[in-house]
Amino acid sequence: MRGLPLRQLVDVYRAKFRAEIALQFAYRWALAIWLLGLLLQPIVYLVVWTTVARSQGGTVGGFSARDFAAYFTIFMVVNQLTFTWHYWEFEWRVRQGFFSPLLLRPIHPLHNDLAENVTFKLLTFTVVAPVAVLLLVTFNASLNPSPWQVLAFLPALVFAFALRFLLEWTLALAAFWLTRVTAINQAYYLAVVFLSGQMAPLELLPEAVQVIAAVLPFRWMVAFPVETVLGRLSPMEVAVGLAAQLIWIGLALGLLRFGWRAGVRRYSAVGA
Amino acid sequence: MSGTPEQAIQVRELRKTYVVPEREGGLAAAARSLVRRRTREVPAVAGISFDVAPGEIVGFLGPNGAGKTTTLKVLSGLLHPTSGEVTALGHVPWQRETAFLRRMTLIMGQRNQLAWDIPVVDSFDLNRAIYQIPAAEYRERVKELVELLELEELLRKPVRNLSLGERMKCEVAGSLLHRPDVLFLDEPTIGLDVTMQRRIRNFIAHYTERTGATTLLTSHYMADVEALCRRVLVIHHGQLLYDGDLAGLVTRFSPHKTIVIDLEPSGPAVDGRIEALVGSPDWLVSHAEDRLTLRVPRSETAAVTTRLLANLQVADVIVEEPPIDEVIDLVFAAGPADAQAKDAR
Amino acid sequence: MLWLSFRLGALNAIQYRADFMVQLFQSLIGLGIALGGIAVVFSQTDQLGGWRQEELIALIGVFMLVGGLIAVVIRPSMEQLMEGVRLGTLDFTLTKPADAQVLVSVKRVEIWRLVEVVLGAALIVLAMVQLGERVSLERVAAFAVTMLAGVAIVYSFLLILSTLAFWLVRLENILVIFHSMYEAGRWPVGIYPPWLRATLTFVVPVAFAITVPVEALVGRLEPATLVGSLLLAVAFLIASRWFWRLGLRHYTGASA
């Protein structure tokens, strides 16, 4: 599956985009419900930490209530833009044989999911963005990044998405070997909650956990772009972070290639 | 018969063995299996070889679990065989080269390839992009398919809202948009009503005739096979029992013919003489009123018929081959050992 | 019926033995994260909206216990139900000679999630020991009653949500909303702003399943809340039954 002309790819993505829009439109209510749930998450943590900050006379570990509001709102946006769901679908795909049609097509199945993902993000962002603004205003968030921080935020965000997509697609390949992967997926998801900064800014976690989050890819998948735009990192730290992201992306690509080949071999050995 | 490069499909000694976990019933046994898991090898295809020439339409016959679907999946690149050599259009299917995937299609009657939730036309458009079908050709093909299969009303509907037959029409159309040179059809008409079966069948015949596509078809419905395939492969327990035309299958596996004789009602009673005239009591299937039904060895057919015509007042005679379904049943009932014994004969 | 389902679930689960280890591992991770979350918060403060650490541990215990019960049988069965409506496989269930609501409610069991129930119970016991003399028999009884009522409310609520699948097609996501709302139950509802507190109490009744039982355990429960919780449970059970029947009447199979 090599040598795909770019023009064809663009064409496929456009076709997928149109189809996906039709699909999401058909399920606009489900989409709205889903978004509602998504938006609740940052509010919970925001409230918990604001309560803590208030009981401690205003700030916790250098975060004021207004800082928490900014952190969790931006986190929600970044998390929404970078998350993937494909690893939840693989078990079902493999078990029901829905992988077969994808394998019969002269195009890597990754493109199917990537196109679906990007389309979904573009659609939902139109709701998430105004809600984020609303949250920032309602909770009186303190967010005033300097121009270079905004500039650095963009590549950090794109890399974070690339890294998360590649890693989670690789994780999904486990479904080729194991019949039930839900447990693994949930374990992974919980690790993300904890180590990507979803529960609390990584700074507030014990030193050891911070190290783990930074050594593993988790910090680079979500927390890092958030920290960047919140102005909590020095230029040097941002540069190091971007480098860490690129290194992980390289590793993830290698893993994915290797895992995919082995996975398809396995799939076609045990019965598609 | 060594494979020549002109063959569209070549299969040599194809074997596919699945490893499945061994299971016993009951909680205790299941708990034991937590500790050690036993596995068992199940041969699905046990060494088959055949060639298919370009443009040939070949029917695959065999009972459930005979290895038909496994073979089709190997040929279309979904399955990696345990051993053996296979080429299709000069490619090794399971390497899944883009050049190969673009030229073939696999249609499975029990699986959907069109996206369940989006309108048919969007799935078509996606296929256009994936298979890089030039826009003008795409429009023309869709138009043609819409006319031939009467899809006009269906294109804008999501697949989940279509009936099984409508879905299958769209499925077939979508799978042929890229003009594949090789078609693998696994039970394409399963579950459809007779009219719709004929519809799909006629369409496939039309397509293959026009494009000269090579086709391998499995079906439970003999009508599909009789209408489409001049050549059939009979496979049972993973082994090839027969490779040849349908008529040959009947002569080979059914050593009997059926003779039905209607007697003149006014004629003399025949009761006493009948067994002697037929030749063997075993050959007489039924004798009711004025009708005799006989099942006679192929080689005796002429002699028996002549004898009866000479000695009885006959109103009508029919000599017929047994129905193809019956023959197929006979083949499967016989099993590989018997079939091979017949081969030797 | 539930037992049969359990037995089947057990048989199924044992065949996927790796899952047991992963589930255990995962539940421990979940527990670690929950306790970790509390530890992180209480490393910065000594009370959260008036709740002390051991009270929050009891809350996490109930959160896991009830969450485990949902995960063992309610949620998998509800997911199966919605898939059944979407794909038309519900037909097979409806033709069985038993109450369809009962059948769909115990249709699928994910046995390993019992681990969560056990861990949750253990955590509650641990918290009770920590709470010491503040726990009385009376309070434990009130706790048991309110928790039962809470589970009944959550079950009815999930059944109502799932029944919506008869009208709206792709609704797997609707359980996601409950899931994220349920996550909010990790913390006492009292800390939330009024609109969210009201939502968690009356719209997605997480409060009755988690906060209220824990309040009963630590002796903060007002008698009125206890009675209210019971009445609400009965009302929810009746409403969900009625809605389920309404939905069934609307069921037409997948290809409709």
Q: Do C168 and A29 touch (CB under 8 A)?
A: yes
Which is higher by pLDDT, B41 or C17?
B41
pLDDT higher than threshold 50 for residue B2: no
| pLDDT-based confidence at residue B261 (cuts at 50, 70, 90) | confident
For chain C, what is the domain count? 1
Cβ atoms of residues C45 and A52 within 8 Å: yes
Cβ atoms of residues C78 and C159 within 8 Å: yes
Point out the residue among C11, C170, C255 whose CB comes nearest to the CB of B30. Answer: C11
Q: Which residues of C touch A28 (CB under 8 A)?
A: none
Domain contains A169 = yes
pLDDT higher than threshold 80 for residue C11: no
- For C165, the domain range is 2-6+15-250
pLDDT higher than threshold 70 for residue C252: no
Domain contains A217 = yes
Domain contains A118 = yes
The pLDDT, as a whole number, for residue C171 is 63
Q: What is the pLDDT of residues C145-202, one digit of tens each?
A: 999 999 999 999 999 988 988 887 666 667 777 887 888 888 898 888 888 889 888 8
The pLDDT, as a whole number, for residue A272 is 53
The pLDDT, as a whole number, for residue B192 is 87
Q: Which residues of A touch B118 (CB under 8 A)?
A: 19-20, 22-23, 26
Q: What is the pLDDT of residues C39-67, one digit of tens each?
A: 888 888 888 888 888 889 999 999 999 99
The pLDDT, as a whole number, for residue C112 is 80
The pLDDT, as a whole number, for residue B341 is 41
Residue A134 touches partner C, C-beta closer than 8 Å: no
In C117-129, which positions are buried (b, 16+ CB within 10 angstroms) versus exposed (e)?
A: bebbeebbeebbe
pLDDT higher than threshold 60 for residue C124: yes
- Concatenating the DSSP letter of every residue in A125-158 gives HHHHHHHHHHHHHHTT------HHHHHHHHHHHH
The pLDDT, as a whole number, for residue C107 is 80
Domain contains C90 = yes
Cβ atoms of residues B105 and B183 within 8 Å: yes
Mean pLDDT of chain C: 84
Residue C7 touches partner B, C-beta closer than 8 Å: yes
The gap from C-alpha C105 to its chain's centroid, in whole angstroms, comes to 13
Residue C63 touches partner A, C-beta closer than 8 Å: no
> What residues have CB less than 8 Å from C27, skipping those under 6 apart?
C113, C115, C116, C119
The pLDDT, as a whole number, for residue B339 is 46
CA atoms within 13 A on the CB side of B146: 14
* Phi, psi dihedrals of residue B96, rounded to the nearest 5°: 45, 50
Mean pLDDT calculated for residue range C224-244: 93
Residue B176 token pair: 């042929």
Residue of C38, C166, C173 to mutate for A, most A C-beta atoms under 10 A? C173
Residue of A23, A98, A180 to mutate for C, most C C-beta atoms under 10 A? A180
| B31 min Cα distance to partner chain C (Å) | 6
Mean pLDDT calculated for residue range B307-323: 84
Q: Which residues of A touch B78 (CB under 8 A)?
A: 100, 103-104, 268, 272
Q: What is the pLDDT of residues B123-176, one digit of tens each?
A: 899 889 889 899 999 999 999 999 999 899 999 888 888 888 899 999 999 999
Q: Do C180 and A193 touch (CB under 8 A)?
A: no
The pLDDT, as a whole number, for residue B87 is 94
Domain contains C256 = no
Query: How large is the greatest C-alpha to C-alpha distance in chain B, in angstroms?
Result: 81
Q: Tell me C73's DSSP state.
A: I
| B27 min Cα distance to partner chain C (Å) | 6
Q: What is the pLDDT of residues A52-93, one digit of tens each?
A: 888 888 888 889 989 999 999 999 999 999 999 888 888 888
- Concatenating the DSSP letter of every residue in A214-243 gives HHSTHIIIIIHHHHHHTT-S-HHHHHHHHH
Q: Do C22 and A187 touch (CB under 8 A)?
A: yes
Which is higher by pLDDT, A120 or B251?
A120
The pLDDT, as a whole number, for residue C14 is 62
Instruction: Estimate the crossing angle of helix C211-218 against helix C137-163, to 10 degrees.
Output: 180
Residue type for position B237: H
Which is higher by pLDDT, C146 or B298?
C146
* Phi, psi dihedrals of residue A179, rounded to the nearest 5°: -75, -35
Percent of chain A clearing pLDDT 70 (strictly above): 97
Point out the residue among C18, C45, C183 whose CB comes nearest to the CB of A56. Answer: C45
pLDDT higher than threshold 50 for residue B345: no
Residue A191 touches partner C, C-beta closer than 8 Å: yes
Of A148, A78, A142, A84, nearest to A110 by C-alpha is A84
The pLDDT, as a whole number, for residue C256 is 41
CA B241 to CA B61: how far, in whole Å? Answer: 10
In B306-336, which positions are buried (b, 16+ CB within 10 angstroms) versus exposed (e)?
A: eebeeebebeeeeeeebebeebbebbbebeb
Which residue in chain C is spatially nearest to B163 when comparing CA positions? C255
Domain contains C133 = yes
Residue C96 touches partner B, C-beta closer than 8 Å: no
The pLDDT, as a whole number, for residue B39 is 77
The pLDDT, as a whole number, for residue A226 is 96
Q: Tell me B130's DSSP state.
A: H
Domain contains A134 = yes
> What residues have CB less than 8 Å from A94, skipping those under 6 apart?
A175, A176, A267
Chain B segment 117-136 residues within 8 A of C by beta carbon are 117
Residue C190 touches partner A, C-beta closer than 8 Å: no
Q: Could you give all domains of chain B from N- to C-terminal order, each with its CATH number? A: 9-250 (3.40.50.300), 255-320 (3.30.70.260)
- For A258, the domain range is 6-270
| C209 min Cα distance to partner chain A (Å) | 18
Which residue in chain A is spatially nearest to C42 when comparing CA positions? A52
Point out the residue among A4, A14, A272 whose CB comes nearest to the CB of B78. Answer: A272
Q: Do A60 and C44 touch (CB under 8 A)?
A: yes
The pLDDT, as a whole number, for residue C169 is 64
The pLDDT, as a whole number, for residue A256 is 95
| C196 min Cα distance to partner chain B (Å) | 34
pLDDT higher than threshold 60 for residue B269: yes
The pLDDT, as a whole number, for residue A172 is 92
Q: What is the pLDDT of residues B18-65, one digit of tens each?
A: 887 766 566 666 566 555 667 788 888 999 999 999 999 999 988 878
| A141 min Cα distance to partner chain C (Å) | 16
C256: burial class by Cβ within 10 Å (0-12, 13-18, 19+)?
A: exposed
Q: Do A19 and B122 touch (CB under 8 A)?
A: yes
The pLDDT, as a whole number, for residue A93 is 85
Residue C169 touches partner B, C-beta closer than 8 Å: yes
The pLDDT, as a whole number, for residue B263 is 84
Which residue in chain C is spatially nearest to A209 when comparing CA positions? C36
Residue A47 touches partner C, C-beta closer than 8 Å: yes
Point out the residue among C7, C10, C255 whose CB comes nearest to the CB of B163. Answer: C255
pLDDT higher than threshold 60 for residue B336: no
Element of type H or E holding C138: helix C137-163
Cβ atoms of residues B104 and B184 within 8 Å: yes
pLDDT higher than threshold 70 for residue C15: no
| pLDDT-based confidence at residue C255 (cuts at 50, 70, 90) | very low
Cβ atoms of residues C187 and A44 within 8 Å: yes
The pLDDT, as a whole number, for residue B32 is 61
- Range name among A158-167, B79-88, C17-26 with the lowest pLDDT average: C17-26
| A165 min Cα distance to partner chain B (Å) | 22
Element of type H or E holding A63: strand A63-64
Domain contains C255 = no
The pLDDT, as a whole number, for residue C253 is 58
- Range name among A14-23, A72-81, B334-343 with the lowest pLDDT average: B334-343
Residue C230 token pair: 């019971």
The pLDDT, as a whole number, for residue B62 is 84
Mean pLDDT calculated for residue range C94-109: 81
For chain A, what is the domain count? 1
Q: Do C33 and A194 touch (CB under 8 A)?
A: yes
Mean pLDDT calculated for residue range C74-85: 86
How many other CB atoms are there within 10 angstroms of residue C79's CB atom? 16
Handedness of CA B113, B118, B121, B124 (dihedral sign): negative
pLDDT higher than threshold 50 for residue C206: yes
Domain contains A1 = no
CA A39 to CA C240: how far, in whole Å? Answer: 27
Domain contains C28 = yes
CA A229 to CA A223: how far, in whole Å? Answer: 10
The pLDDT, as a whole number, for residue B14 is 93
For chain B, strand residue ranges (E) read: 9-21, 39-52, 57-61, 83-88, 104-108, 182-186, 214-218, 231-236, 239-245, 256-263, 284-288, 291-297, 314-320
pLDDT higher than threshold 60 for residue B340: no
Mean pLDDT calculated for residue range C137-141: 88
The pLDDT, as a whole number, for residue B1 is 40
| C42 min Cα distance to partner chain A (Å) | 9
Point out the residue among C10, C14, C170 whose CB comes nearest to the CB of B33. Answer: C14
Q: What is the pLDDT of residues A188-234, one digit of tens each?
A: 887 888 889 888 899 988 888 899 999 999 999 999 999 999 999 99
Point out the residue among B76, B112, B118 whose CB comes nearest to the CB of A23. Answer: B118
Q: Which residues of B touch C17 (CB under 8 A)?
A: 33-34, 37
- Interface partners of chain A (CB pairs < 8 Å, 3 or more) are B, C
Q: Do C44 and A47 touch (CB under 8 A)?
A: no
Q: Which residues of B touch C15 (CB under 8 A)?
A: 21, 23, 30, 33
pLDDT higher than threshold 50 for residue B205: yes
